[in-house]
Structure 1
Amino acid sequence: MTTKPRPRIDYTSLDYESLRAALLGLARERLPEWTDHSPNDLGVALVELFAAMGDALFYYLDRVAGESYLETAQERRSVVNLLRLIGYELRPPQPAYADLTLLFHKDAAGQVQIAKGAGFATTAKATGTPVVFRYLRPSLTLDVGALPLTTVDGKQHRVFAPLPVVQVDQLVTGEVLGSSDGSPRQRLPLARKPLIDGTLEIAVMQPFQKIWRRVDTLLDSAGTDEHYAVRRDENDVAWIEFGDGVRGKPPARGRNNLIASYAVGGGARGNVPARTITDVSPAIPQLDRVFNEAPGTGGAASEAVADAVQRAPRQYRSMGRAVTAADFEAHARSFGVAKARARALGNRVELWIAPAGGGYPNDLLKDDLRAYLDGKRMLTTLLDLRDPVYVPVALAAKVEVEPYFYRNEVRARVKEAIRALWSFDNVDFADTLYVSKVYEAIESIEGVAGVTVTHFGVAGGPNNAGGALKFGYGEIPLSTGFADQDLEVTGGKSDVL
């Protein structure tokens, strides 16, 4: 019995051209009498159809395989689902925080109430589109006559500060999620996004309205517990998940009996400049002015996939607890602060934090972070939240421009390159800055013939001859680039003809 030779298979033939060539090669071996391999041959047309089908099939198989691993996944949906397997949720957009100063009339008297949900906003002139902030804590009653009398901008006012507010795009009350059919594992989406954590309230009519409790996971809930969990999809839409009768109680059957109230907002647009939050709605009696002494901070977009892939395994190793300094740093970043640095001293943990956009964390952000970490730290651990220490960096340099380039254009590109080199997003606590990076950034600019850094050091300090600036545990280098007088540009052409 004659055994046919096994076909040689090239497992790298995955695209149309290689599949077509492989199929025609096999045809030459098995069907030597078929000699017409021109494009107008019917057999060649069939081969090309199968090659096209194989090309598409192998593409989808490659995508399925790639989306199954964190290192190779490209779609945000795949990363969300993979990280959920280890209990990690991508951080949603974070709202900005601000502290307001309220200036009441100097002769103000009596009590004034600041209601929960009171709105404050920037002007269109200051930020283009007004950015709204709201007071989300319980209603506050002030005895304005007892407030200290202080001179602000040359006028006397009764001053109250700080009033913590959060950037909120919209307050949603009484939104009907839908009707419960009594079945297990019901999932319903919120109509608006992004949800601000800590503001969601789910009420179930059974038959009277009752507020259910939010939990991180239903795995620890009993079948009678009136709990729900929140899961966000790849588009930052929040989904409300109810139990199955074994882990968490499903809502009773009813028409339009699932009601949600919450706030939406977040993103870097809330990091507004100082003294731009000046509008009040509704009006507060006897209030003359309101403003934010410091910029809004903490506003950030959704967590980037690349950051989550790096951060999730480290947080998974902590098993949801904060024990080591690295655990506190990982949980603080997961909460939403941009930078965190922790140091353990006995049973006390010092945690320096910096909000997104730079600046200093306000009391509201600290309180929320402390409450978040309280459920993760050991009972005997004392947590000390600290503000970052920004250390200004001073630079001076001489730049020589090539003959056929305009000096002012090169000057502008040099200043922009150095401003970006050590911007807030590119530095961290206890960082080390090297003068070689300044040379590298400037020399890579087209039109630069040469550069000499004449000063490199901490502002107000001597020149660092060693070429490296090292910063302390709670310090972040702060560089705004070159001042005009510190950048000398020679050579090149003048912009004036």
Structure 2
Amino acid sequence: MIYHCCDERRRRRVREHPVLNGIDYIEVLDADAVPLGSPRQRTLLVRFVKAAPALTVESFEITGGERIADVRIEWATRANAPNPLVTTPLEQSFLVALPDPEEVIALRTSSSGDYSTYTLHLVAAAGAIVPPANIDPLLARVDFSFKVECPSDYDCAPNDLCPEPAEETPQISYLAKDYTSFRRLMLDRMAQTLPQWSERNAADLGIALVEVLAYVGDRLSYAQDAVATEAYLGTARRRTSVRRHARLVDYAMHDGANARAWVQVRVGGADPVPLARAETKFLTKVAGAEPIVPPPAADPLFERLLLQRPLVFEPCEDKQLFALHNEMFFHEWGEGECCLPKGATRATLNGDFPDLAVGDVLVFEEILGPHTGRTADADLHKRCAVRLVQVAAGLEDPLTNPPTPITEIRWAEEDALPFALCLSARTGREFGERIVGPVSRALGNIVLADHGLTRTGVAIGTVPEPHLFLAANSGRCMPAEREAVPPRFAPMLAEGPLTQADDPPAPEIPASAVLVQALSAVRPQIALDSTLPGGGGERWIARRELLNSDAAAAHFVVEVEADGRARLRYGDDRHGKRPASGTAFEAGYRVGNGPVGNIGADSLAHVVTGLGEIVGVRNPMPARGGREPESVAQARVAAPQAFRVQERAVTPEDYAAIALRHPGVQRAAATFRWNGHGHTVFVTVDRFGARPITEEFEVELLAFLEPFRMAGYDLEIDAPHYVSLEIELLVCAKPGYFRSEVKGAVLQVLDDGVLPDGELGVFHPDRLTFDQDVYLSAIVAQVQAIDGVESVTPVVFRRQGQPDPAPLESGVLPIGRLEIPRLANDPNFPERGKLTVTMGGGK
């Protein structure tokens, strides 16, 4: 056959003809020849369109080949009646068992040929170019290969025997990038192809078409330049582009976080009031509005108030409220001029509060000025929130008649009072020197709320039908098909900025650690519900990225632009599911984000609720935690350095540096030791405030270090080796100063606590750490700076219990790599260091 045709009409017509016949196809026995004992690739099975005609060896001729060109036919036999003189019994059985063996003639060749293409001809006689009688000319030859069964890494069948001629590429100037240059380029091209057209009038149809095409080219050129600009981190302008570039180097660009606040909800009545998170909202002050706003379902007032753009906060949890907890005062045990000292973690409330529970949050606030006794003079900064860890209600003060009911409370160490809280005080002389109180109070019914307004059932669009198609890569004989280009569907939310927040905190987390959220934990507060054209649907969940989403995951990504608008991006059926055309989406999301939510104290004044027992709302403390989204400039600086952060621990210095990332670790040092079968890493930790290495902290730190640990290395947490100091000073007081007062000042400065002005003492644990030599000159300088000190003479300066004069002579006491100096001067623990001050002079 010398033509390549896309159908088999000729073959069908030959099959229907009463006389004509021809070759249908040919098979080369390769692996199937082995069980028959036949030579591989030398037996050809020629199948005819109809019953095979009576042909001899001379009727067949093989041409072609490159390395082996002379391939001859040794014998030919009909498959339904094999010649026993040239075939073996196994070959005879195989040929007879072929489907329709009367249509097959078996040929044996002299060679197995090479890897090129051969052609089998049917000829009337040896050397003739015409086929035998009654053989169709087009079906009298067939191309084949002896190596058709040889392994191949690709489909070797020819699929483009009649390729389209290559078109000549026109001469194009790639310097043309704007309207003017495109117009000039097309006019020059027209001058070459249509020299008889010389019209240049703007009203001419040809000029109009040229200018329209130049305009389109200018727009396309701008689009290409924009794409090229967004292709690199250093030149990208859109925040989304910078975000994706940063992700390639494992840097997650954050979108900010919303603010959180402690809100007191005041209630009335004797019964508990259930506050539902989903049905309550708090608003900042709106002129002319009442404190209680009806819910949107009952009254359109809420939507009208939103037109004045108040900030909206919503509770993070459901809460049981009690009128008895609106205001609680401290019990002073009959004393006066009392205060809770800085660092306190327990107090006594005046009254029985059986509904106070572990996990509840109280806010302490000063309500009177201690010096004046006036409400207006109360210090607004003396407000703090504490998380209760122990409550003992039902107690009494036995010295009162009748006994006064009291409630003992204790809160977390992390919530220790950051200031001294005055409970009662004596006013100044100008204000009568009278005892006033209560100066401070405790507020209950505290609810954690965060910035953001919930919107539900917002239609964001329907996935369109495809309108662009690509030609399928099919052969010339395949039916013309086109492949639909998935339509772009990246809806943008109508309102913004989209809230970025973490899940509500667990009830055991201290109150001081709740308001500020970790940026690595916040997520966009949005979820989608899809509805398919034929019914049914599913919930779509927001993710930071789709790299870990499989093809069936209903996930999407929120990408925030520089103006705060949020656009949604879906998957591509490889990483994340692509929504089908016709799918309608509804969104539920929250609006409100960033530092605008960091409102001041007492900014919340309205509550949207349907509960009649709620009488008011306020936030005693400022909201905190609102963060701006990371800017493009910040990401350009931080992203290239992100992958340089060590995320594995190899050397001892690595373990120490990673341990410092833990918020409870001040300093750390690490040591490798051989344990007989491997290495153990001993991490020696200096905690803030010289806190002990408890079992709970050790478990927490081991879990923190585990992701960075090298395989084959064990981890152990050690306490530091404390070096107790022994110091004796001879201090001479100035004339006119009392020696006792000067000595007290010296002992206070050289203490291991916090000074009255908030400064740390010289030997406070947070001022001392590993491998920190102690210099005598620094101690003398601190004492010499005290008012009333004339001179200072060191007498003893050494490690406790080691009579070594070298430190006193050199002025330096060396400290080892795993050692920390300490001097507590506590008579209860004399082994923790001793300070002796001998006074002279003064009076």
Q: TM class by shorter-chain length?
A: 0.3 to 0.5
Tell me which of the two structures has the higher relative contact order, counting C-alpha pairs closer than 8 angstroms and 6 or more residues apart. 1
TM superposition score normalised by structure 1: 0.47
TM superposition score normalised by structure 2: 0.30
